[in-house]
Copies of this chain bind each other. A is one copy, B any other.
Amino acid sequence: MTFLRNCWYLAGWSNEISGDQPLARRILDEAVVMFRDESGVVVALHDRCPHRFAPLSFGRVEGGVLHCGYHGLAFDAAGQCVENPHGPIVKSLCVRSYPVREAYRGIWIWMGDPALADDALIPQLHFFADVPDTAFSCGYIKGDANYLLFVDNILDLTHTDYLHPDTLGGGSYTRNRAKVTDHGRTVSLHWHCWNEVPQPVMRINGFTADRADSWTEIEWTVPSIMMLRNGAVPAGTPREDGKSFLVAHIMTPETSDTTHYFFAATRDFDRDDADLNARIAANRAAIFTKEDKPMIEAQQKRMEGKDFWALDPVLLRSDEGAVRIRRKVDEMILEENAGR
Interface residues of A (CB under 8 A from B): 31, 47-48, 50-55, 58, 67-72, 84-87, 90, 92-93, 152, 156, 158-159, 161-163, 174, 294-295, 298-299, 301-303, 311, 313-314, 316-319
Contact = CB atoms under 8 A, between A and B. Distances in A.
B54 A299 contact: yes
Given A53-B302, A54-B299, A85-B158, A69 B314 contact: no
A325 to B, nearest CB: 14
A288 to B, nearest CB: 14
A177 to B, nearest CB: 9
A156 B51 CA distance: 12
Contact of A314 (B55, B90, B163, B313): B90
B317 A69 contact: no
Contacts of A48: 302
B152 A71 contact: no
A72 B174 contact: yes
B302 A86 contact: no
Contacts of A161: 72, 85
Q: Is the interface of A mostly helix, strand, loop or mixed?
A: loop
Given A314-B92, A316-B86, A299 B158 contact: no
A311 B158 CA distance: 48
A84 B295 contact: no
Contacts of A67: 162
29 contacts: A31-B302, A47-B302, A48-B302, A52-B152, A52-B299, A53-B299, A53-B311, A53-B313, A54-B302, A55-B298, A55-B301, A58-B294, A67-B162, A68-B162, A69-B162, A69-B163, A69-B295, A70-B299, A71-B158, A71-B162, A71-B316, A72-B161, A72-B162, A72-B174, A84-B316, A85-B158, A86-B318, A87-B316, A93-B314
Contacts of A294: 58
A318 B316 CA distance: 59
Nearest to A47: B302
Given A58-B295, A295-B69, A314 B159 contact: no
A295 B54 contact: yes
Nearest to A322: B52
B298 A54 contact: yes
Nearest to A292: B70
Contacts of A86: 158, 174, 316-318
